[in-house]
Amino acid sequence: TDRKKLHTAPVGQVFRLRPFHVLVATGGGYAGYRKYEDYKLQQLEKRGIEVPVKLASEWEVALYKSVPTRLLSRAWGRLNQVELPTWLRKPVYSLYIWTFGVNMKEAAVEDLHHYRNLSEFFRRKLKPQARPVCCVHSVISPSDGKILNFGQVKNCEVEQVKGVTYSLESFLGPRISTEEMHFSQAPPGNSFQKQLVTKEGNELYHCVIYLAPGDYHCFHSPTDWTVSHRRHFPGSLMSVNPGVARWIKELFCHNERVVLTGDWKHGFFSLTAVGATNVGSIRIYFDQDLHTNSPSYSKGSYNDFSFISNNNKEGIPMRKGEHLGEFNLGSTIVLIFEAPKDFRFNLKAGQKIRFGEALGSL
């Protein structure tokens, strides 16, 4: 009679799982499985074994997109801005340097105690002489990274890696009006690719550069050009490492990105900064109105902003090598531009490249 009654809840209530929790757990587990698969592919590539392309199905892409990567990226961004105690900075940064192979001898400030938080360390500046800008070639690499793909755009499709393509129009969005850009008046029936080409005899070219976590995270102007327009696509923040880029078709079209378009001496020129997991923050130095990875966004939407106004008819002039923007961690930059048919890339797929080195020339 002195025993206390034990009140228990029904078994159904104890094990009740909400759909959101199931999606997060399943999606996270599957993402881990994909990471393991990527690791195995990297080992095969190191042995020189060619890996066949195996694209993800629609349900696999949907499952991956169910993981709240935008929320996780915002949380990671806030964590990166937390000031670390002085005694903890060197151990934390040293672990990161060892993991990703960071060369701190190139940093403008080599003392690890100088960086108050991870965000400052990610966005560290380099010594002026660390990245000499090539003066001979017309187009240079805007950042450090790995060349995933390059070449001529064909049939309105662009390769993100060998054998995996995405739609040029889906990536850049609808064509901008000729009032804002110096485009030629192409006939309406022409393909989207031909509408971008402003001069007869020119072709459209592309180059994809992947920035790893250990790379220098700022990016610069790849040539002398004028930026006329910015288009911001809110979207997913899936990983853009080469393994995932080989697995998900139109990965860059799914992810959040900032498209800068304008013109150079040969016609149309664009630079697109593609966001990724933990890289929701994309900053363009001359665009104070840009805010990426916002909590509220509409799927499939985009925001346009013109740099041409009554006071500024030309847009934003950029010189080759000039600071343009930065990522927080690492991501991908895609160049799509118009050039004469004799333009040649001085690259090899898979090679490492550094900011300031030549991409190609006439």
Catalytic residue numbers, as ranges: 144, 220, 331
| CA–CA distance, 332 with 224 (Å, rounded to integer) | 21
| CA–CA distance, 100 with 23 (Å, rounded to integer) | 31
Among residues 154, 177, 178, 176, which one has the least CA distance to residue 167?
A: 154
Among residues 182, 147, 181, 152, which one has the least CA distance to residue 168?
A: 152
Look-up of token digits 């790995």? 146
The dihedral through the CA atoms of 75, 209, 143, 207 has a sign that is negative
| CA–CA distance, 337 with 325 (Å, rounded to integer) | 19
DSSP-derived 3-state class of residue 336 = strand
Q: Decide: 69 and 238 in contact? Cβ < 8 Å.
A: yes
DSSP-derived 3-state class of residue 145 = strand
Longest dimension (CA), the chain: 98
Task: Return left, alpha or beta for 145; rule: phi > 0 is left, psi -120 to 50 is alpha, else beta.
Answer: left
Task: Return left, alpha or beta for 313; rule: phi > 0 is left, psi -120 to 50 is alpha, else beta.
Answer: alpha
Cβ atoms within 10 Å, residue 10: 8
DSSP-derived 3-state class of residue 32 = helix
Number of H-type helices and E-type strands within the chain: 10, 17
Cβ atoms within 10 Å, residue 310: 5
| CA–CA distance, 280 with 273 (Å, rounded to integer) | 11
